[in-house]
Amino acid sequence: MAPAPEAAPAPVPDGRPVQIFQVSTLYGAATLAAALDAGQFGPREDFRRLLLLSHHTEIPETALRLEDMTGYGRIARRFDGTLDWNETIHPYHPAAWAPRPEEAPLWQRVLRTAWDLGPAPVELVVESIQVNPAKALAGAFPESALHVYADGLMSYGPTRSDLAQSVACRIRRVLHLDLVPGLRPLLLAEYGVEPELVPDNAFRAVLTEIARDAADDPDLARVVAARPTALLLGQYLAALALLSPEEEEELHLRMLRGATAAGHRSVVFKPHPSAPAGYSRALHEEAERTGVRLTVLDGPLLAETFYERSGLKLVVGCFSTAMLTAAVYYGIPVARVGTADVLARLTPFENSNRIPLTVVDHLVTDLEGDGTPAVPGAAPDSLTPLVRAVGYCMRHKIHPGLREEAARFLAAHRAEPGTAHHFTEERLAELALSDRPAPGRPGAPARLRRTLSRARRD
C-alpha cells in the first residue's frame, strides 16, 4: 500500500471561486470524488477545490484518521489542497462548536485568513447540514451556496431537525447514491431541495481506484488467501446506545451462526473502525467450536475494498450501508440479522436510524428466517409508501402533506406482519392515526375517527 501524501497547504488565492468539500469518512469522500468525476461540480479549472477533513469521534486524537485510510491519497489528488477542521478550531470538538450568529463576520475573516481564501466567492459542500461542523461552516459563511451530500441510507428519511431559513434557502441540492433504486430521498424535501443522483458507474470506478491502493496490503492479502465466501459487517451499535456491548457481541455471533447454517465454512468479519479489539474474541471462540475458518479484516480499509478482491457469496449486517453497496454495485447477495430487534427498541421515534432500519428490514432477507439471501434490486412498490408513512410519523410537523397518504397506508396495511413493527401504538395515537387512545386519553378523538374513516373509504 502506497503511503498517503501529506496534506498539502492551501494554494495562494488566484481569483477563482473556491469550493470547500467537508468530509469525515472515506465513503463520503468517495461519494464526492465520484460526483467530481461525473462533472457535477463543474470543470476543475474553473474552481479552487479544498478538501476539509473533520474527525467527529468522542476522542478524535485516538481514532483512526481519514488520512490514514487506504485510498485516501487517490481521492485527495482531486483537490487543490487539504484543510483540517479539528486543527482550525482546536481545542473545541467539531461536533460541539459553532460560531454565534453575531460572531459570523469575525469568524469568516479568521477562516479566510487561515485558509488563504482571499476575497473569492465560497461554495460549501457538506454532510449532515443540521449538525456541526456543517452547521458551523454555514454560519461562518452566511452568503455561500450550500450543496449537501448523503453517503448512506439516512438520505431516504426526513431531515433530523429544523434548519434556520437563512440556511435552508441556500441549499441547492442533495447529492446521493442510488442505494435503493426507485426510492426518493425525503432529506430536505420540506425546503423544496431536489435530490440528485451520483452516477453508479462513477462511484464504482472510485471504489475500484481505492482498491488498487490496497493491492499490496498484507492484511487484505491474508484475508483473501482464506477464500471466504461470507462477510460479516460490524457497526458498533453500542457507541450509538442502540445496543449494549454484550448485546452487540451476541448480534455478531448470530451473524456467524446464520452464515454457518447457510453452509459457509470460511467467513471474514469486518469490525467497525471504532469498535474495541475484544469484539472479535467471542467470534473466534464460536468459529473454533463450529469448525468455521474465521478471519478478521481490520485496519484502515473500507469493506468495499474487499468486495473488489473476493468471490463473496454473502454479506451479512444489521443495517449497514455497506450491505446495500455490496448488492447494488457488486451484485453480492445480502442478508440481515437483528434489524427488527434494534427497530423495536429504537427511541425516540424520530431517531434518524429508523429509516435505514426500515429500508433494510423491508428489502433484505432475514438470515435467521426462511428466505434465501439475495440481491434486493429496485425498490418494490410496497417500500415507498412504507418509508413515507414512517417518515411522516417521525417528523409530522415538517411533512403535513403526507398525513392523508400515511393514513391510507396504515388503514390498508397496519395489521400486516411486515408493517406492524415499524410503528408504535403510542406514536400513532399521538398523531391520531390509531383506533387506540394514547396513554392518559379517554378515547379516540373525533379527528382520529374522521381521518381513519376517510382513509378506509379511499
Sequential DSSP letters for 319-381: S-HHHHHHHHHH---EEESSHHHHHHH--STT-TTHHHHHHHHHHSEETTSSS--B---SPPT
For the segment 131-163, what is each residue's pLDDT rounded down to a tens digit?
A: 999 999 999 999 999 999 997 999 999 999 999
In the chain the domains, ranked by start, together with CATH numbers, are 18-204 (3.40.50), 215-366 (3.40.50.1980), 383-457 (no CATH)
Is the CB of residue 136 less than 8 Å from the CB of residue 128? Answer: no
C-beta atoms surrounding 435 within 10 Å: 13
Specify the pLDDT at position 98: 86
Half-sphere exposure of 217 (CA within 13 A, CB side): 23
Specify the pLDDT at position 85: 95
SS3 266: strand
49-67 CB burial, b ≥16 within 10 A, e <16: bbbbbbbbbeebeeeebbb
The pTM of this model reads 0.89
Is the CB of residue 295 less than 8 Å from the CB of residue 219? Answer: no
Nearest of 217, 430, 387, 417 to residue 306 by alpha carbon: 217
Specify the pLDDT at position 249: 92
Q: Running along the chain, 458 residues long, what does each successive block of 10 average in pLDDT?
A: 47 78 95 98 97 80 76 95 94 88 93 96 96 95 96 93 96 98 97 98 96 87 93 90 91 97 96 74 93 91 87 96 96 97 94 96 96 94 97 97 96 90 95 67 46 51
Is the CB of residue 355 less than 8 Å from the CB of residue 324? Answer: no
Contacts (Cβ under 8 Å, ≥6 apart) of 8: 81, 82
Specify the pLDDT at position 240: 83
SS3 147: strand
DSSP of 275-326, one letter per residue? S-GGGGHHHHHHHHHHT-EEEE--SS--HHHHHHH---SEEEESS-HHHHHH
- Mean pLDDT of the chain, nearest integer: 90
Nearest-angstrom CA–CA distance, 22 and 24: 7
In this structure, which amino acid lies at residue 406?
A
